[in-house]
């Protein structure tokens, strides 16, 4: 195991796409209608990075949230519609990734079809050369390490030669469980106060909030890994 940073594995929502704020707003609206008197933002924030189904199930374990398949489907449609309407790349991410001459892959908890469509719409798809791996295709969602291990296999790389780029505690936990080092990103529209500290506590080696810094951070880590 060399430990050299030779590959980059990126989460999608909140790292490549500034979509989490739209998803969070839509989900807050849906939950507020179903859980009167409950602070929807407060119950969603600690669960960011989970799949929608896992997030809803976790909330239902603490609050009287009816979760029939039809209810989940309605919430999913509302969230997907708002995300699609407000879809954009994280500012500066395309230029930053183009400036990093390393093979790259995506490891996401979102559905594969949605991730691929969004990457194509925002012009980011060619940067990954088809190496896009999603929880619904590998069989286990983050915080399980499976999606990161699948990304490493597609890169033909050992996990400790890969650097993960993550914005959630769930994602950092998954990447560390797979054996990758992690840069935490806290610059997307949904980030709340104290989030950088939570990423560090979960295992990120460093947290930054401006994608323009990414190429230099990667160069520094190639010279002196954390």
Please list, residue by residue across 161-198, b when 16 or more beta carbons sit within 10 angstroms of its beta carbon and e when fewer do.
bbbbbbbbbbbbbbbbbbbbbbbbbbbbbbbeeebbeb
CA–CA gap between residue 179 and residue 54 (Å, rounded) = 23
Last residue of a domain, one of 85, 107, 141: 85
Q: Is residue 156 part of a domain?
A: yes
Contact between residue 94 and residue 128 where contact means Cβ atoms under 8 Å apart: no
Number of domains in the chain: 2
pLDDT at 19 over 90: no
Is residue 175 domain-resident?
yes
Same domain for 117 and 218, yes or no, is: yes
Which band of pLDDT confidence, cut at 50, 70 and 90, is reported for residue 1? very low
**Same domain, residue pair 153 and 211:** yes
Residue range of the domain that includes 34: 20-85
Cα 112 to chain centroid, rounded: 13
Mean predicted confidence (pLDDT) in 46-59: 86
Residues 29 and 137 in one domain: no
Q: With a cut of 70, say whether residue 190 has pLDDT above it.
A: no
**Same domain for 208 and 155:** yes
What was the pLDDT predicted at 106? Answer: 98
d(CA 49, CA 9): 16
2 in a structural domain: no
- Say if residue 100's pLDDT is above 60: yes
Question: Which alpha helices (DSSP H) does 3-68 contain, by range?
Answer: 20-34, 40-44, 52-60
In a domain, 101, yes or no: yes
Mean pLDDT in the chain?
91
CATH number of domain containing 103: 3.40.50.1000
- The answer to whether residue 128 scores a pLDDT higher than 80 is yes
* 99: pLDDT strictly greater than 90: yes
Q: Which of 54, 70, 85 is the last residue of a domain?
A: 85
Residues near 163 by beta carbon (within 8 Å), at least 6 away in sequence: 5, 7, 8, 9, 180, 181, 182, 183, 218, 221
Taking 90 as the threshold, does the pLDDT of residue 189 lie above it? no
Q: 49 and 149: one domain?
A: no
**What value does the mean pLDDT take over residues 165-188?**
95
| Residue given tokens 């990423």 in the structure block | 199
Q: Compute the average pLDDT of residues 68-84.
A: 88
Q: Is the pLDDT of residue 108 over 90?
A: yes
Examine the domain organization and report whether 48 and 110 are in the same domain: no
28 shares its domain with 140: no
The share of the chain scoring above pLDDT 70, in percent, equals: 97
Whether the predicted model's global pTM rises above the 0.85 cut: no
Give the separation between CA 190 and CA 192, rounded to whole angstroms.
6
Give yes or no: residues 112 and 81 share one domain: no
Residues 99 and 190 in one domain: yes
- The stretch 25-29 carries a mean pLDDT of 88
Cα–Cα nearest to 41, from 21, 65, 12: 21
**Does residue 95 lie within any of the structural domains?**
yes
Residue 153 domain flag: yes
Q: Which of 97, 100, 79 is nearest to 11 (CA)?
A: 97
Residue 128 lies in a domain: yes
48 alpha carbon, distance to own chain's centre: 9
Residues 109, 43 share a domain: no
More confident residue, 69 or 190: 69
Q: Do 170 and 128 belong to one domain? A: yes
Q: Which of 189, 220, 4 is nearest to 90 (CA)?
A: 189
Rg (CA), the chain: 17
In a domain, 1, yes or no: no
170 & 160 share domain: yes
Average pLDDT, integer, range 41-63: 86
């Amino acid at each position: 195991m060399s430990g050299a940073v030779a590959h980059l594995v990126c989460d999608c929502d909140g790292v490549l796409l500034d979509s989490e704020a739209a998803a969070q707003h839509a989900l807050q609206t849906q939950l507020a209608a179903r859980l009167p008197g409950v602070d929807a933002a407060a119950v969603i924030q600690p669960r960011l990075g989970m799949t929608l189904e896992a997030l809803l199930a976790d909330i239902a374990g603490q609050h009287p949230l009816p979760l029939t398949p039809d209810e989940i489907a309605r919430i999913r449609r509302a969230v997907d519609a708002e995300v699609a309407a407000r879809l954009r790349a994280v500012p500066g991410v395309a230029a930053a990734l183009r400036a990093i001459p390393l093979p790259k892959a995506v490891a996401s908890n979102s559905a594969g079809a949605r991730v691929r469509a969004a990457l194509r719409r925002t012009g980011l798809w060619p940067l990954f050369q088809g190496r896009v791996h999603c929880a619904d295709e590998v069989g286990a969602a983050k915080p399980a390490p499976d999606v990161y291990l699948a990304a490493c296999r597609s890169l033909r790389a050992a996990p400790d030669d890969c650097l993960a780029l993550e914005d959630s505690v769930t994602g950092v936990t998954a990447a560390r469980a797979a054996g990758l080092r992690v840069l935490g990103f806290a610059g997307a529209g949904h980030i709340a106060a104290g989030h950088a500290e939570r990423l560090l506590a979960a295992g990120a080696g460093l947290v930054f909030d401006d994608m323009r810094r990414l190429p230099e951070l990667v160069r520094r880590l190639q010279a002196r890994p954390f």
